[in-house]
Structure 1
Amino acid sequence: MVHLKILMVGAGGIGGYYAAKLAEAGHEVTLTARGEHLNALKLNGLVVDYASRQTFRHSLPAYSHKELVDSCQARDFDVVIVSLKSTATKEVFAELAEWLQAAKTPVLSLQNGVDNEPLIAEIIGEERVIGGLAVRIGGHILKPGHVVAEGAAEIVMGAWPLKEMNDPRSQVVDQLSREFNAAGIPTGVSDNIRYELWRKLLINNGVNPLSALTRLDTRSLTHHPEFRHVVVGMMNETLDAAKADGVDLTREDLEEMFDLISSFNAIKTSMLVDREKGHPLELDSIAGAVLRRCESMGVEAPYTRLVCALLNHGL
């Protein structure tokens, strides 16, 4: 086993869980966070409750982004994993741009949406970007320093936007996959990660905005006699939008993703949790990504547009 030096940028519900699993396996993990969550991580360490069965406790180095830049260098790490809310990607990468550009460390994004990797590539170059997605996991910060998570918590990753012939990122991706699997994180590798990101957006756009609007969990939405049709409608609109990025999703993709989310645990989506806590919603990076691409092709997206309008008006 190789002991990796890992920076987790954004140690919230998803990042906190993966950080704890990787630390449990003996990897050197450093965290970034902000506010009271950061203060608690520094004082008491990271606590992660997983599926009401396991509790992980780790005292890990934790920094604000300014403290990170002042205390560490990007080349100190084997990989930078980004698990930020997509609403923060642009701001945080502007803060870390010079710091990241001074090294060649690969960056793995584990975020919602399909627009994070392009933003990261603008800062550090496409040749260092690894796209990724967290699948079948629900997680959020219960209180500062304390994260709860559930689900199979799988990861899919790959060179973004596609694996090229003799792609130098392949070696990094394969090593990360091996170490993640050895740490108990089921991880697969894709040669077409953009396709996988759009498949996940089928679920994200299908349930996240609607759950924030209705305040219903995923199981309630997908089993409701009326709302399930809205979920499928928003997934259909995502399927249409993918064509603008040259990704040909099929009806089989939609049905597979609907079956996945409808059979998964009844969870609050991250967007619903954010609304309950009064935090900014990832609406633009999920539904907005669909609307922008549909508009570019002259395709209507009435379900997504209506749910967005209702959320934007505070209903």
Structure 2
Amino acid sequence: MLRLLMVGAGGIGGYYAAKLLDAGHQVVLTARGAHLQAIKENGLKVHYHDRELVHQPEVLDHQQLVASHKPDDFDVIVIALKATATASVLNELGVWLRRGRSPVLSLQNGVDNEPLLAEAVGADRVIGGLAVRIGGHIVSPGVIEAEGVAEIVMGVWPRTNGGSDGLILTVDMLAATFNDAAIPTQISDNIRYELWRKLVINNGVNPLSALTGLDTRSLTHHPEFSKIVYGAMAETVAASKADGVNLTRKDLDEMFELISSFNAIKTSMLVDKEKGRPLELDGIAGAVLRRCEHLGIKAPYTATMNALLLQNA
């Protein structure tokens, strides 16, 4: 049985927590506000396609977590927060995390979360990860709707070569455990490369969906918007060179074909905009723009969408 802490019980974290609870693992969740209270009173409810998963896990806010648990109470600590929350949560939990040796797995958008975690807890404890082909959202306090294949890709950050034997074995164990829990999981020897490939998709569709109100399929099959999606994705490919990842035109075309073949998914940035929540703009468009500036290259598609969303924030 896996003992797991899921920091963030939103659409992504809540879904994976429910699948692991379904498989008999022990999962502690963190949440806040009405969502926290609803899970405490009525349990966590996840609607996934034609199934409803209902569990009554232990759920805590961060103060309660620090007071009642040690980091090494858990086999792995999963961060499933919006990228906008990573720095602030590390301010809250950084001292607590450093008291233990449990590995920390990031399941977040963007390419800047793992470096922050490595700085906070040490690179020898960081596992990079990404959730792919999943849409998940809180539809009401305590209730989550999720769709898609809901795969995970994970690996020693920034790549297996150079990682400790212990962390490599942990990644192997986690992948086997997740697969046994009906969470399709793959291991990457170069997780930074995979994170950048996902950022290519996210920067292509997330900002534009927030501006237009359209889902991924509508954007990628629109005669004009599809050009903007492709252009922003191309700018992300160019930006990857700042991190030494060096994505290619082949990566660009593969990612565009992949997102074009998806079912119609409402992006997380569009959902956040509709609900009046902060957008993951800095972790997606901002990450691209900072690296393009460093490289001395222009990113007009990304810069324009970023400016429009900031203007309307």
Give TM class, smaller chain: over 0.9
Question: Quick one: distance in 2 between partners of 1:166 and 1:256?
Answer: 28
Which residue of structure 2 aligns with residue 115 of structure 1? 112
Question: Quick one: distance in 2 between partners of 1:222 and 1:261?
Answer: 7
**Aligned counterpart in structure 1 of residue 194 of structure 2, from 196, 213, 232:** 196
Alpha-carbon offset, residue 165 of structure 1? 4.5
- Give the unaligned 5+ runs of structure 1: none
| Divergent runs of 4+, >2 A | 164-168
Structure 1 letter corresponding to 2:241: K
Question: Quick one: distance in 2 between partners of 1:152 and 1:260?
Answer: 13
Which residue of structure 1 aligns with residue 216 of structure 2? 218
- Of 56-65 and 160-169, more deviation after overlay is shown by 160-169
**Aligned counterpart in structure 2 of residue 72 of structure 1, from 69, 72, 87:** 69
Q: 1:81-124: CA deviations, max 9, x gaps?
A: 11000100000011001111010000000000000001111110
SS at 1:113 equivalent: coil
Which residue of structure 2 aligns with residue 269 of structure 1? 267
Alignment check: 8 A CA contact 2:156 2:163 kept = no
Alpha-carbon offset, residue 248 of structure 1? 1.3
Question: Quick one: distance in 1 between partners of 2:103 and 2:6?
Answer: 13
Structure 2 letter corresponding to 1:38: L
Question: Quick one: distance in 1 between partners of 2:253 and 2:171?
Answer: 29
TM-score (norm 2): 0.99
Q: Does 1:290 align with 2:309?
A: no
Question: Quick one: distance in 2 between partners of 1:202 and 1:67?
Answer: 37
Structure 1 letter corresponding to 2:134: I
Alpha-carbon offset, residue 166 of structure 1? 6.2
Structure-to-structure mapping, 1:155-194, within 5 angstroms? 155-165=152-162, 167-168=164-165, 169-194=167-192
Which residue of structure 2 aligns with residue 314 of structure 1? 312
Question: Quick one: distance in 2 between partners of 1:255 and 1:50?
Answer: 30
Structure 1 letter corresponding to 2:255: M
Which residue of structure 1 aligns with residue 301 of structure 2? 303
Question: Quick one: distance in 2 between partners of 1:297 and 1:103?
Answer: 38
Which residue of structure 2 aligns with residue 90 of structure 1? 87
SS at 2:160 equivalent: coil
SS at 2:149 equivalent: coil
Q: 1:203-257: CA deviations, max 9, x gaps?
A: 0000000000111100000000000000000000000000000001111111111
> Using a 3 Å threshold, how does the CA distance of structure 1 residues 255 and 66 change in structure 2: closer, same or farther?
same
Question: Quick one: distance in 1 between partners of 2:162 and 2:120?
Answer: 23
Question: Quick one: distance in 2 between partners of 1:148 and 1:80?
Answer: 23
- Of 57-66 and 246-255, more deviation after overlay is shown by 246-255
TM-score (norm 1): 0.98
Root mean square deviation, CA, Å: 0.8
Question: Quick one: distance in 1 between partners of 2:164 and 2:228?
Answer: 41
> Using a 3 Å threshold, how does the CA distance of structure 1 residues 235 and 76 change in structure 2: closer, same or farther?
same
Question: Quick one: distance in 2 between partners of 1:72 and 1:265?
Answer: 40
* Paired residue total: 312
Question: Quick one: distance in 1 between partners of 2:28 and 2:86?
Answer: 19
Structure 1 letter corresponding to 2:125: R
Which residue of structure 1 aligns with residue 248 of structure 2? 250
Structure-to-structure mapping, 1:132-143, within 5 angstroms? 132-143=129-140
Q: Does 1:100 align with 2:97?
A: yes
